[in-house]
Amino acid sequence: MAEQTGTTMEKIVALCKRRGFIFQSSEIYGGIGGFWDYGPLGCELKRNIKEAWWQDMVRNPPLGPKGVEFQMVGVDCAIIMNSKVWVASGHVGGFKDPMVACKADGCKKLFRADQVWTVELLPEGVYDETGFDASFTKEGFSLAVRDISLMKNRRTWIASTQVDGVAEALNDVESAINRAGKQFKSAQLKSTRVVARAQKHTLALFKAVDDDGNRYQGVVSRLDAIPRSQFPDSPNRNIAGPCPVCGGDLTDLREFNLMFDTHTGALREEANRVYLRPETAQGIFVNFKNVMDSSRVKIPFGIAQIGKAFRNEINPRNYTFRSREFEQMEIEFFCKPDELCADGEPTAMEWYEFWRNTRIKWYESLGIRSDKLRPRQQGAEELAHYSRACTDIEYMFPFSNEPQELEGVAHRGSFDLNQHGKFARGDENAFAVIDDETKKKYVPHVIEPSAGADRFTLAVITEAYTVDETRASPEFMRFHPRLAPIKAAVFPLVAKDGLPEIAEPIYRAIKTQFPAQYDAKQSIGKRYARMDEAGTPFCFTIDGQSKEDGTVTVRNRDDASQSRIDRSRCLDYLRDKLTV
């Protein structure tokens, strides 16, 4: 099966290059990793996708929950913004993937530091219990590492385990502690007692006693939870270990900042550093007040944006799926917090469900088979701390046996507007609005359906790719007619006998309304086959009979069936078939 999926993907990639959908960027110079160019057909396809999204989400969105009408407006923001935007959003501080690798030969495993849980065991009394308790608040682990001299000794890290999620880690606490005890000075710990548990960075604090009656305190925490500022000038910055797989030494935490940066102005100095946006959402939040003040929108309403975003992916992979430059189609939908909703008024959670369902239906309406579309609601432990709920809409691509994310629909609460209020105005509530009925001030809650335009384009391509060995042209692209790069082709059966003279005016009439191609060269079979690979749904062929009775053949891409219509009806026929 794996080989099968591999070859399917290779054939799709080959077709995309052969027919001009997608090229590797800068190919003649040896290419550049993580960047892709769309050719003539790909550019039409992606444009159709973005236009369908804009039409269906912004200009003509469906009715909301309980039949509520709502407004959608668009913005088109600069890619480079004041760099404080990214401080407020958390990207400057947090948008990085700290990684560690195992140094041991034969292991060399790579871990994301926040997925490795370590157990630290220290003689009791090093930290008092109040110190531990304090560490459960926002700063997490900070109090527990105030004695740097002890922490420099890596041997205090005596066990670690790798888990997929916090829930599993919680189940794993007891065994991790026991494992820690067994490795510590080769002494069996008589008893362990978990004294407290916390989510996120620090998982559990516990007490333990060994055979000699020595008492210990321990902490289970995420490997990335130790603030690097606690180890400013340590000659031994190796604070991580041991490897959860083989027990070997781990490398330093390596922090990759995933944002591209550059500088404005003539001087290339730190004060002028600016970032290429890693998401389009912040442009919307930053303009929230401008839009409210200028366009007479009222909550609930949404602001939409389509645009490029940039992430310095460590390892771009899987064709265009994980690119360093990509395009997003994002909505920030602003609504009332649940507690202010009147009876019968949709709550924020209902808006969240509405958008999740709307987005799934949208994909299905454009020909994505529902069994390949996998909406996945995130568990509580998987959510970002500000997020109330989130569904990843995933799709089964041929390059993986795991579904891959096309879009995230997140209920973000008031987090983003609070952050910008705090950083821009010094007041969390700076962007509050006043409720018409209750006259109460509130910061709107946000539902964020954030879709990847390139990812969906790739999904559309892989979904459309069809092989039917019984056909003369076995490979063809079954694009939804609304997305097809070329809607129709016009062929004179032969390039003589007056047929081009009939075909050309038909072509010229069609292309005023729809993307169309005219081709008079080579055999009719090759011309059909080429259009099949381009995914063109309809071909009109002018033959000898056209001269006699004025009819032309319409050939359907999906089943190669043919029918005859009057040549004057070609445009009407397309309007009928292409209008959704």
Q: Nearest 5°: phi and psi at 233?
A: -120, 20
Using the contact rule CB under 7 A, the part of the chain among 126-134, 175-183, 289-297, 495-503 near RNA is 495-503
CB of 15 to RNA, least distance (A): 8
Residue 477's contacts (CB-CB under 8 Å, 6 or more residues apart) are 15, 461, 464, 465, 466, 532, 533, 534, 535
Binding RNA (rule: CB under 7 A), the pick from 146, 185, 193, 526 is: 526
346 prior amide bond cis, ω within 30 = no
CB closer to RNA, 192 vs 280: 280
Binding RNA (rule: CB under 7 A), the pick from 85, 395, 475, 537 is: 475
Whether the CB-CB separation of 367 and 483 falls below 8 Å is answered with yes
CB closer to RNA, 216 vs 538: 538
CB of 213 to RNA, least distance (A): 40
Q: In the range 439-458, which residues lie near RNA by CB under 7 A? A: 450-452, 454-455
Q: In the range 200-239, which residues lie near RNA by CB under 7 A? A: none
Query: How far is Cα 370 from Cα 494, in angstroms, rounded to an integer?
Result: 43
Residue 501 binds RNA, judged by CB under 7 A: no
Binding RNA (rule: CB under 7 A), the pick from 43, 73, 81, 101 is: 101
CA-angle at 416, arms to 415 and 422, nearest 5°: 90
Residue 548 binds RNA, judged by CB under 7 A: no
CB closer to RNA, 33 vs 550: 33
Tell me the residue type at 166: V
CB closer to RNA, 178 vs 318: 318
CB of 335 to RNA, least distance (A): 21
% helix, strand, coil for the chain, step of 5: 35, 25, 35
Residue 522 binds RNA, judged by CB under 7 A: yes
Instruction: Please provide the size of the chain in residues.
Output: 580
CB of 405 to RNA, least distance (A): 4
Q: In the range 37-66, which residues lie near RNA by CB under 7 A? A: none
Whether the CB-CB separation of 283 and 304 falls below 8 Å is answered with no
Give the containing element (helix H, strand E) for 167. Answer: helix 166-183
CB of 471 to RNA, least distance (A): 7
Using the contact rule CB under 7 A, the part of the chain among 40-48, 57-65, 136-144, 528-536 near RNA is 528-536
Using the contact rule CB under 7 A, the part of the chain among 22-30, 47-55, 211-219, 459-467 near RNA is 22-30
Among 317, 316, 319, which residue's Cα sits nearest to residue 8?
A: 319
242 prior amide bond cis, ω within 30 = yes
Give the sign of the dihedral formed by CA 476, CA 480, CA 483, CA 486. positive
Binding RNA (rule: CB under 7 A), the pick from 8, 82, 115, 387 is: 115
Using the contact rule CB under 7 A, the part of the chain among 16-24, 291-299, 478-486, 572-580 near RNA is 16-24
CB closer to RNA, 152 vs 530: 530
Give the sign of the dihedral formed by CA 264, CA 266, CA 271, CA 273. positive
Q: In the range 261-320, which residues lie near RNA by CB under 7 A? A: 279, 311, 313-319
Longest dimension (CA), the chain: 107
Q: How many residues bind RNA (CB under 7 A)?
A: 82
Binding RNA (rule: CB under 7 A), the pick from 12, 21, 34, 507 is: 34
Q: In the range 318-357, which residues lie near RNA by CB under 7 A? A: 318-319, 321-323, 326, 328
Residue 511's contacts (CB-CB under 8 Å, 6 or more residues apart) are none
Binding RNA (rule: CB under 7 A), the pick from 43, 560, 571, 578 is: 560
Tell me the residue type at 261: D
Residue 6 binds RNA, judged by CB under 7 A: yes
CB of 400 to RNA, least distance (A): 7
Q: In the range 405-434, which residues lie near RNA by CB under 7 A? A: 405-408
Using the contact rule CB under 7 A, the part of the chain among 24-32, 295-303, 356-364, 502-510 near RNA is 24-32
Residue 110 binds RNA, judged by CB under 7 A: yes
66: number of Cβ within 10 Å = 10
Whether the CB-CB separation of 117 and 176 falls below 8 Å is answered with yes
Binding RNA (rule: CB under 7 A), the pick from 208, 553, 567, 573 is: 553
Q: In the range 372-401, which residues lie near RNA by CB under 7 A? A: 392, 399-400
Query: How far is Cα 301 from Cα 299, in angstroms, rounded to an integer?
Result: 5
Residue 523 binds RNA, judged by CB under 7 A: yes
The DSSP-derived string for 499-546 is: HHHHHHHHHHHHHTTS-EEE--SS-HHHHHHHHHHHT--EEEEE-HHH
Query: How far is Cα 138 from Cα 156, in angstroms, rounded to an integer?
Result: 24
